[in-house]
Amino acid sequence: MHLVVTVQPDPRFERKGDDLYTEVPVDLYTALLGGEVAVRMPDNHAVMLRIPPETQNGRLLRLRGQGMPHLNEPTTRGDLYAKVTVQLPPHLSDEEKRLFQTLRDLRRGEGQRK
């Protein structure tokens, strides 16, 4: 007797062996300053992921032991890799635009000459 198990794909995850890959939206402010974001797992519970300050768009962050169980070793799991996708704020107010322009000027060195 044989048991055939088919794992249904989940569009939120890509599986490579026992490891899972997913994209995690992170707002601009959390990417720049650091913080935490919730990552939905395949069973729909959430795990908090620490975002280090100055995290670049596309960076992979690893959640150890949050991937798929190893075959023949169900207590051992692969890892989950979360790819950071920085989300820019929509519909900036006039004040927000002014503040971003000030930041841009500071980065270009223009704020030091005033």
Distance CA(69)–CA(75), nearest Å, equals 7
Inter-residue long-range contacts of 73-78, CB under 8 Å, 24+ positions, other chains counted = 77/18, 78/17, 78/18, 78/19, 78/20
**Which tokens go with 90?**
């929509």
Q: Give the strand pairing for 14-16 and 19-27.
A: antiparallel
Predicted TM-score of the model (pTM): 0.81
| 34 closest CA partner among 10, 47, 9, 52 | 52
**Top-confidence residue, 44 or 50:** 50
- Compute and round to an integer the Cα radius of gyration of the chain: 20
What is the predicted pLDDT for the residue at 108?
Answer: 92
112 pLDDT above the threshold of 80:
no
Domain 14-112 matching CATH 3.40.50.300: the answer reads no
pLDDT at 113: 55
Domain boundaries, given as residue ranges, for the chain:
14-112
